[in-house]
A and B are shown apart, each in its own frame.
Chain A
Amino acid sequence: MRRLRDYAPAALVLAAGIALWEAVVFAFSIEFYLLPAPHVIVQSLRETYPTLVEAGRYTFTEAVIGYALGCGGGITAAMLASRSPAFADLVLPYAVASASVPIIALAPLAIVWFGVAQGSKIAIVTLMTFFPTFISALRGLLGVTPAALELMHSYAATESQIFLKLRLPHSLPLVFTALRGCTTLAMIGAVVSEFFGGPMKSLGVYIKSTASLFQTRQAWSAILVTCALGLLFYFAVALAERLVMPWRVERGLI
């Protein structure tokens, strides 16, 4: 584990950034509806705290459920596809191509299909996180070296032994890289989907409606909450990664 002291430079940069922001707003007399000073945002955050907690819980639930479905589905599909390399070769190009499809563009349609409540957002997040996880997991499962496989064959290992003792652990680093990246995708998917419609007490709708009313400080405080939740999500997964792969932690790879 890195020491607290190692994070000092980063914390210093953050503090300097906030100070600079505050100074620029003050020095150029920027109106708060254009760019509120940090202390104004914090003040607004205090006032609207209960609303933001409720909205945050609503949106975070969508992100986490969609993430679980998308990533879980992606890993499961990869495990099934890895049983048949021919099938994997068939679907992999399409899965890779899907990365260039802006799934978020489907958000208005998702509302038509799944309603304006959480269902449509969960559907978008599921779709957004499915393919990256699927591709990484499949590459990890199939990417074992011929020598590692030969070792298994020399001990007459069964297919399920090869899967459990070689393919699965070998795929973990790639799977976790995808899982970490998907936390960001899940937050984006949930918040942006809400821009197209949802209840007032959700982060996306709250940001959109306060911004359109020039209530910039409220919008900023909601964005701050979104960032905090995104970071929380990311670090929770990063912590899980460290617990699951101690051999990479010691090596300093994660």
Chain B
Amino acid sequence: MGAPIIEIVDVGKSFGGRTGPTEALRAVSLSVDAGEFISIIGPSGCGKSTLLRIVGDLVEPTSGVARVNGKSARQARLDRDYGIVFQTPVLYDWRTVLENVQLPLELAGRPRQERDARPLALLRLVGLEAFRGHFPWQLSGGMQQRVSIARALALNPSILLMDEPFGALDEMTRERLNLELLQVWSASAATALFVTHSIAEAVFLSSRVVVMSPRPGTIDRIVDIDLPRPRLDKIRAHPRFFELVTTVRESLREDPALAAGDDAGRAI
């Protein structure tokens, strides 16, 4: 096995504010190997989104360093190594579904032929080829997020960053999209970093689940998910699935800030 594809070393992040700086992350270190699917889970305010943004060079760490593909996160972003899926689909409403997926290829100045062919193939992959001429508002929330996933894969990125992409969706849609995401992801060569606050989602998708606790955000525990792949819906009924869900849930409970109750945590 070669060098890790994502290397987070001793990363800290403080945000300035009127009442003094808030420490969002403290001494976070994590290595991710190529082809892994890593979920980051934790209560709100644990800095999981901030950590994802530091890896994607959308936020600068106050201390420490994030290295991706053996280079700085900044260089990886400039080399367009990332595909990002945000909490909201962030589709441009003046572009059709197809044109939204074409955007990254346009920005990268890819040749016309690729700009036409690749987005169509991706839309086929997420089952939305028939909607290529539609505008975003004509699609449901789940469909919009699938378009956003297709767009994230447009440049065939080595890193796929996802920030609670299914958080706003209903449970049934979420489970279906989890399954679809796994199919799409396994067809790509991307390493995935996935932020979520759903335990079942994290266990279902991941090769490892990173459990974080807040104030300041630190990594409590990393749970190896040894469920076989390809994972289908029926794995949700597997005893091992329940065991792992319980392990992750207990790791979250051990968190002293949570155990003391959320209000106590807020008062600190």
Contacts and interface: CB of A to CB of B under 8 A. Distances in A.
A247 B86 contact: no
Given A157-B107, A250-B135, A151 B90 contact: yes
A150 B137 contact: no
A117 B126 CA distance: 64
B90 A165 contact: no
The residue in B86, B90, B137 that gathers the most chain A C-beta atoms within 10 A of its C-beta is: B90
Given A150-B58, A155-B80, A161-B107, A166 B92 contact: yes
B78 interface: yes
Interface in B177-209: none
Given A154-B82, A155-B107, A147 B88 contact: yes
B40 interface: no
B214 interface: no
B78 A156 contact: yes
B149 interface: no
Given A155-B108, A165-B107, A148 B92 contact: yes
- What size tier do the contact residues of chain A reach? 20 to 34
B119 interface: no
Nearest to A168: B94
A169 B107 contact: no
A153 interface: yes
Interface string A24-52: 00000000000000000000000000000
A156 B77 contact: yes
B128 interface: no
B233 interface: no
B61 interface: no
Contacts of A5: none
A173 to B, nearest CB: 9
A180 to B, nearest CB: 18
B162 interface: no
B104 interface: yes
B77 A169 contact: no
Contacts of A166: 92
A152 B104 CA distance: 9
Given A157-B107, A166-B92, A169-B92, A151 B80 contact: no
Contact of B77 (A145, A147, A154, A245): A154
A251 interface: yes
A148 B78 contact: no
Contacts of B103: 155, 165
A169 B94 contact: yes
A245 B137 CA distance: 14
Interface in B80-115: 80, 82, 84, 86, 88, 90, 92-96, 103-104, 106-108
Interface in A236-254: 245, 247, 250-251
A148 B137 CA distance: 16
B90 to A, nearest CB: 5
Contacts of B77: 153-154, 156
A164 to B, nearest CB: 10
A247 B94 contact: yes
9 contacts: A151-B84, A154-B77, A155-B104, A155-B108, A156-B80, A156-B107, A165-B92, A170-B94, A247-B93
The 9 A-B pairs of least Cβ separation, nearest first, read: A169-B94, A154-B84, A155-B107, A147-B90, A156-B78, A247-B135, A157-B107, A151-B90, A155-B104
